[in-house]
Structure 1
Amino acid sequence: MFLPALRAEVAKILTTRIWWVLAIILVVYIVFISGGLGALFGFFSTSEGQATEQAPPTEFLAPMLYGSVSTFGYVFPVLLGALAVTSEYRHQMLTPTFLATPKRGLVLGAKSTALLFFGAIYGVVGVIASVGAGAGALTLFGLDTQLDNSETWAMIGRGVLALALWAVIGVGLGALIPNQVAAIVVILAFTQFVEPTLRAVTMFADWAASLGRFLPGAASDALVGAPSLFGVGATGPGVDPLEWWQGGLLLAALALVLTVLGYFVSWKRDVT
């Protein structure tokens, strides 16, 4: 029963345009950020005088650019996951879905698995964009791209995993907030304003930074293991960021909790 349900969920995504439209926007966005920051910091790093003080150390620059796919791009797989659920409510597709597969938990599990796969695809295209644009900018200014470092490639692989987990988090959010407009507003407000503000504020005190490192975005940066513009792991000077595996477990736990809550809050309700 699970494989037919999984194939059905994959087919639902592939028959819409939103998945590849979001993927294209993700690539353009990450190329702009990684390439733009790479050129900016590359200019500072190679300029004479005080301007060099404005650039991060060169050994942190390449990982920071490559990790931008997680720091800035995670909103796209979250949106995809949420839209995959809320569109079923909006277009009244749940009734035939549940008639074909009466076990609703199985349907939600298949949807989460399908979005884990598509999130990984977003991760792959995202890291290609961040590494391509970032390494290109660094090469232009004669800086080390760190691509001969095995840790860099491990970080890139964890970036793919991070975006895959974010897509499943989106499924949980969509199940918890079935209204499509409300879900999109909540996701954009939290990812683009609330969390960046909280991460910036928590860096001013060690006790706040100890809590701030458990924010979803900070956990994602910890999983990837790349320096962030929000601070390395979004922590204060006296607080260590989470280990990469701790960040991964935190994201996975968040995805599980949101999905279970969504299942009991709205997914089990009667549909028309």
Structure 2
Amino acid sequence: MSLLAASRSESTKLFTTSIWWVLAIVLVGYVGFNAAALAFVFSAASTGALGGEGAPPTPADGIPSLLYSTATAVGYVFPLLIGTLMVTSEFRHKTLTSTFLATPRRGLVLGAKLVVGLAVGLLFGVLGVIAAVGPSAAFLAGYGLDTDLTSGDTWALIGRMLVAFVVWVWVGIGVGALVRNQVGAIVGVLVFTLFLEPIARLAASFVDGLGDALRFLPGAAGDALVGESILTAASGAGGAEPLAWWAGGLVLVGYAAVLVVLGHFVSWRRDVT
């Protein structure tokens, strides 16, 4: 079986289930809510509407890109989850046996999942960008602030967000290939992305030198690739200089590559029954 045929099979397995559209709906709602809430606060603060009498308004420079990056800053867990589920669902529902019988070359099956991951990552990226940019631009325009939607830098930011969504799906595929147990993989992803790394990055604000090491964590690398993040802004990157966007991208791709390779040799080649 060719890579094209295997990719078509993997695409059918994913898009004929409810996993992808359920996560897509939650992604849009979650990112949209956070973007709208932050856009209201920042827009009102920039015009002085939230300050007390005589309080100076918050500078509006850089606010549009910060708000638009909400798509990846709070939404990157969704492509990570869909990538993980693309693999662990096969272990859980015992469909991997028939998959390997139809396509004995296991590396080809994993490669096909990466190809489908590219498509679903772009799909989730577009949805996330719309969910973040839509309400953010509406609030900015409503308060008379520049949306920066005509700026080339803004569209470069959006392009990097789409790339980040794709790579996060690949990271998830690597996690799923390495950790066969679906519950364990999902719990591990959620604990790390929602608790461990954010807490560590915030703690870096109070510990000298810690930020230099933590900027190589997956979430920090993803934020560096995009170029903006509310978490990076809140933590101040722990006093460390963030990675360049291309370096952040390489680090994140490195995580995906290492996880996929380890998953292939440690778990993927083992018996599935």
Q: TM-score range by the shorter chain?
A: over 0.9
Equivalent residue number for residue 175 of structure 2? 173
Q: How does 1:86-105 map to 2 (within 5 A)?
A: 86-105=88-107
8 Å contact kept, 2:75–2:128: yes
What is the identity, as a one-letter code, of the residue corresponding to 2:264?
Y
For the aligned residue pairs, the C-alpha RMSD in angstroms reads: 1.8
Residue 112 of structure 1 is matched in structure 2 by 114
Deviation, 1:112, is 1.4
Question: How much does 1:250 deviate?
Answer: 0.7
Question: Partners of 1:253 and 1:170 in 2: how far apart?
Answer: 13
Shift of 1:230: 3.2
C-alpha displacement at 1:53, in angstroms? 7.3
List aligned pairs for 1:13-162, cutoff 5 A: 13-47=14-48, 49=51, 57-162=59-164
2:247 paired with 1:242 = no
Residue type at the aligned position of 1:134:
S
Aligned partners of 1:233, 1:20: CA distance in 2, in Å?
33
> Relative to structure 2, which stretch is displaced further, 226-235 or 161-170?
226-235
- Identify the residue that residue 255 of structure 1 maps to in structure 2: 256
1:267 matched residue in structure 2: 268
Alignment correspondent of 1:182: 184
Distance in 2 separating the partners of 1:158 and 1:232: 21
Deviation of 1:208 (Å):
0.9
Query: Are 1:200 and 2:202 counterparts?
Result: yes
Give, in whole Å, the separation in 1 of the partners of 2:245 and 2:47: 32
CA contact (8 A) 1:44 1:52 kept: no
TM-score by length of 2: 0.94
Task: Give the drift of 1:270.
Answer: 0.8
CA contact (8 A) 1:79 1:167 kept: yes
Q: Which runs of 5+ in 1 are unaligned?
A: none
* TM-score (normalised: structure 1): 0.94
Contact 1:86/1:174 (<8 A) preserved: yes
Instruction: Say whether the 8 Å CA contact 1:70–1:163 is kept in structure 2.
Output: yes
Structure 2 CA distance for aligned equivalents of residues 55 and 70 of structure 1: 27
Amino acid at match of 1:106: L
Does the CA contact (< 8 Å) of 2:79 and 2:165 recur in 1? yes
Q: Do the aligned residues in 1 keep the contact of 2:88 with 2:177 (CA within 8 Å)?
A: yes
Structure 1 residue identity aligned to 2:241: D
Shift of the alpha carbon at 1:47? Answer: 2.1
Residue in 2 that maps onto 1:3:
4
Deviation for aligned residue 1:236: 3.2
SS at match of 2:205: helix
Which amino acid counterpart does residue 186 of structure 1 have in structure 2? G
Map of 1:230 onto structure 2: 232
Determine if contact 1:219/1:233 at 8 Å carries over to the other structure: no
Residue identity in the other structure for 1:207: G
**Residues in 2 aligned to 1:209 and 1:53: alpha-carbon distance in whole angstroms:** 33
CA deviations over 1:200-230 (Å, ceiling 9, x no partner): 0112344111112111111111111124233
Whole-Å Cα distance in 1 between the matches of residues 215 and 98 of structure 2? 42
Amino acid at match of 1:156: I
**Distance in 2 of aligned mates of 1:270 and 1:52:** 70
Cα deviation for residue 50 of structure 1 reads 5.2
Measured in 1, the distance between the counterparts of 2:73 and 2:53 equals 25
1:111–1:171 contact (8 Å) kept in structure 2: yes
Q: How many corresponding residue pairs?
A: 271
